[in-house]
């Protein structure tokens, strides 16, 4: 470094206007020519290739954005369809539940109606059967009472009541008298 300062000092004595930091004119000219050559080569060779790569990337990015927008639009349409189908399914499920509830209520009502009808039918059948059994008991009692009355009347009267006409008159008179007594007590 000392040599550089000494050379500058010697040079400074010879020419007082020399500034070591500034290049000379011929250095400036050749540097400018080389710089222009490099810029021309860069503009003609590298810049078109670089521009082509950047254009391809921009087209690829734009295509990706367009594709993404299309996919997003399709997804939005699919979501809307899904939402509509979900709404329809919920409405249909609500309708099915309501129909099932109404059908269950109808089944219960039909069951109650059938039970009431069956109960009335059974009650009516029982009453008819009871009336028939009562009538049968009355007929049986009439026959038993008639036989007893005939036997009793035969013993009381002392004669045989084997004659059917006579027997029938005595029995009817006895039964009429018995009914009158029963009605009078009630």
Instruction: Specify the pLDDT at position 31.
Output: 93
Listed in sequence order, the residues at least 6 apart from 161 whose beta carbon sits closer than 8 Å to its beta carbon are 150, 153, 154, 167, 170
**87-115 pLDDT per residue, tens:** 999 999 999 999 999 999 999 999 999 99
Instruction: Specify the pLDDT at position 83.
Output: 94
Measured between alpha carbons, how far is 30 from 19 in angstroms, rounded to an integer?
19
Instruction: Specify the pLDDT at position 90.
Output: 94
Total-model pTM: 0.38
b (16+ CB within 10 A) / e for 96-108: eeeeeeeeeeeee
Instruction: Specify the pLDDT at position 99.
Output: 94
Task: For the chain, list residues with pLDDT below 70.
Answer: 1-16, 153-154, 157-164, 166-167, 186
């Amino acid at each position: 470094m000392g040599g550089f300062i000494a050379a500058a000092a010697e040079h400074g004595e010879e020419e007082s206007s020399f500034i070591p930091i500034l290049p000379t004119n011929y250095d400036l000219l050749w540097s400018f020519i080389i710089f222009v050559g490099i810029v021309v080569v860069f503009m003609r060779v590298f810049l078109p290739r670089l521009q082509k790569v950047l254009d391809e990337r921009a087209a690829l990015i734009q295509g990706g954005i367009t594709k993404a927008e299309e996919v997003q639009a399709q997804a939005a349409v699919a979501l809307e369809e899904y939402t509509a189908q979900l709404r329809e399914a919920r409405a249909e499920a609500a309708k099915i539940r309501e129909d099932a509830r109404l059908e269950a209520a109808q089944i219960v009502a039909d069951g109650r109606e059938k039970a009431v009808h069956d109960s009335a039918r059974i009650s009516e059948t029982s009453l008819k059967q009871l009336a028939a059994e009562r009538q049968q008991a009355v007929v049986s009692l009439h026959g038993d009472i008639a036989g007893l009355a005939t036997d009793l009347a035969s013993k009381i009267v002392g004669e045989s009541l084997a004659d059917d006409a006579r027997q029938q008159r005595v029995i009817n008179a006895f039964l009429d008298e018995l009914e009158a007594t029963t009605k009078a007590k009630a």
